[in-house]
Structure 1
Amino acid sequence: MTTLVHVTPGRVVKIPAGNRTRRLPDTGFNVNERDPFWAALLRNGDLTAGDVPAQAAASTTTPAKASTAATPATTQAASGSATK
């Protein structure tokens, strides 16, 4: 019995493929839900049954840039140098 599934947003699922592992795509794909491997991923919440939600699909195509600006106080505290 096959079911359409997708990787739960925020999770990365890697599957064994011979001598290597490969990452599952963010798009929907069919799996046999009675197979122990896929059933465990569904049970643990790594995979979600159903098609990829439009909101999750849009967020994976345009990743947000994180701000890496540090304030002088944060930089000083992190380096361990303090003025006495």
Structure 2
Amino acid sequence: MVDKTLYKQMIGCLRYVCNTRPTISYGVGVVSRHMESPKKSDLLAAKRLLRYVKGTIDFGLMLSNKLCRLNQTMLGFSDVD
């Protein structure tokens, strides 16, 4: 039997990571379908995604303005203390 709370926490973390790692979006979507009644195979798939993210920690989004002819500035805010 799979702990539903743990599984939901894992999926929540993966969904958060999807913001900067769109390559895992499909896999996260697949494992998200089973949040109400996860099986052991679903848990193993979620763990595999987490291992992939851990192993590719240096990957991310590259934002470039080389193709944009407008003078734009990107602003970001954080509430971290």
Pairwise same-fold verdict (TM > 0.5): no
Rg: which structure is higher? 1
Larger proportion of strand: 1
Q: TM-score, normalising length from structure 1?
A: 0.31
Q: TM-score, normalising length from structure 2?
A: 0.32
